[in-house]
Structure formats: C-alpha cells, structure tokens
Amino acid sequence: MDVFTVDFWLALLNIVFIDLILAGDNAIVIGMAARNLPQHQQKKAVLWGTVGAIGIRIIATVAVVRLLGLPWLHLAGGLLLLWIAYKLLVQEDDKHGDIKAGNTLWQSIQTIIIADAAMGIDNVIAVAGASHGNTLLVILGLLISVPVIVWGSTLFIKLINKFTWIIYLGSGVLGYTAAKMITHEKAFEDFFKDNPVYYWSFVILVIALIIAAGLLTNNRRKHAVQEKSRETV
C-alpha cells in the first residue's frame, strides 16, 4: 500500500479511530496506577508507562500482522474481533477493580505496562486487521495515538459518556474490520473478490448483527435493572 494513496490514509484514520475507541481502558489503568504518587511524579509515570506500553503493543501488533499470513488466522482473528466489538457495547463498569496503585514511580510504570499488555489484545487484533499487513501503518497509527492516550483519553471518555452513539459507531468500525479480515482468509478471498455484491452484503450484515446484539443486550439489562428497582421500592 503506497503512502501517497487515499487507501493508506483511510486505513491510518481507521487505526487511529480504533485506538481512540479502545483507549478508555488505557486511561483508567493509567489513572489508577499513578493515583498514589505525588503530583510531580504522576506525569512521569503516565509518560513512561505509556511509552513502555505502546512499545510492547507495536511489537505485539507487528508479530500478529506477520502471523496473519498463516492459514485460517484471518478467520480466527476476525471472529475474535467480532467478540471484542460486541463486548465493547456491553462492557461492565467494574472490570478494573483489581488494578492496584503503585507506591513508587517504578511500581506505577510497571503496573501501567503490565496491565496494558494484559488488556491490550483487543487493540492488537483490531489494529493488525485494519493495517492490511502494512507495518508502517501499525507503527504510525500507534505513535499518533500516544499523545491521545496520555493527554486526551479522559476527554474522549467524557465524550463517549455524553454521546453514546460513538461507542456504537466504534463497534461498527470494529465489525467492518472483522468482516474484512474474514473475507481476506485465503479460503474465501477469491470468492468475495469475484463477487463484490456478496462481499458488501456480508460486511453490512456483520455490522448490523453486532450493533443489534449490543442494543438487545443493553436493553435487556436496562429492563432488568428497572424491574429490580421497582421490587425494592
């Protein structure tokens, strides 16, 4: 993919958007890990913890991009990404309760890096799928995301809480990326390439099913909470 083509820049925007959508975990981890430090050390913990986490993420994503050349891994990665897209819509609020704050600068940096690596599989799979095997896209996309994750992720979380449709848009983008990964599986690639109507029908169907499943689950939870509150009154 040529750097000077529209496809390259659209793919880069897609990767940055995916990073933004999945940056909420990073903001929570960073905030919780550094909260016990003096204020003058918190900035250092955030900066170096994020640099370390992004470095590991670049290595992991490039490795996954290379592995996607193996048979059936596009299909496996696409299916995993569908699950990630669904979980993004129905995620629980208390999933970070086991993250402990560090008492020293080094402990906080370690916590940020380790926790991010443990929770970053969704980002790695998504970015690997959106990069179309282009290592430059992976590195550029993640490097652009560094200042966003360090300084802008808290603001982005507020935007998501205020405009809930952003989450559904993000889940749709992940669904689109997952569908493209599945259609690029060698066993199916020629079929979808020769039949663009089937290709776009499949992509639209995948996006619609993911968003519909998320809406259905969230509505059921909302009704269950309302019923429980009525019972306790």
In a domain, 94, yes or no: yes
Q: How many residues does the chain have?
A: 233
Residue at 155 is within a domain: yes
pTM check: above 0.85: no
Amino acid 126: pLDDT:
83
23 domain residue, yes or no: yes
Going by C-beta distance under 8 Å and a sequence separation of 6 or more, which residues neighbour residue 143? 54
**Model confidence at 192, in pLDDT bands (50, 70, 90)?**
very high
Task: Specify the range with the lowest mean pLDDT, choosing from 19-23, 52-56, 80-84, 179-183.
Answer: 19-23
Query: In this structure, is the dihedral angle defined by the CA atoms of residues 205, 210, 213 and 219, taken in order, positive or negative?
Result: negative
- Domain holding 55, by residue range, is 6-232
- Give SS3 for 47: helix
pLDDT of 149 reads 65
Mean pLDDT highest for which of 79-93, 113-127, 198-212, 216-230? 198-212
Does residue 190 form part of some domain? yes
Q: How many domains does the chain have?
A: 1
Residue 1 domain-assigned (yes or no) = no
Q: What is the pLDDT of residue 209?
A: 95
Among 78-82, 120-124, 172-176, the range scoring the smallest mean pLDDT is 120-124
Q: Which of 47-56, 91-100, 197-206 has the lowest mean pLDDT?
A: 91-100
- The mean pLDDT value for 196-221 works out to 94
Q: Is the dihedral of CA 46, 52, 56, 61 positive or negative?
A: positive
Q: Determine the pLDDT at residue 26.
A: 63
Measuring CA to CA, which residue among 129, 124, 116, 102 is closest to residue 45? 102
Predicted confidence at residue 101, as pLDDT, reads 60
User: Is residue 170 domain-resident?
Assistant: yes
Q: Using the predicted structure, report yes or no on whether residue 214 has a pLDDT greater than 80.
A: yes
Query: What is the tally of helices (H) and strands (E) in the chain?
Result: 11, 0
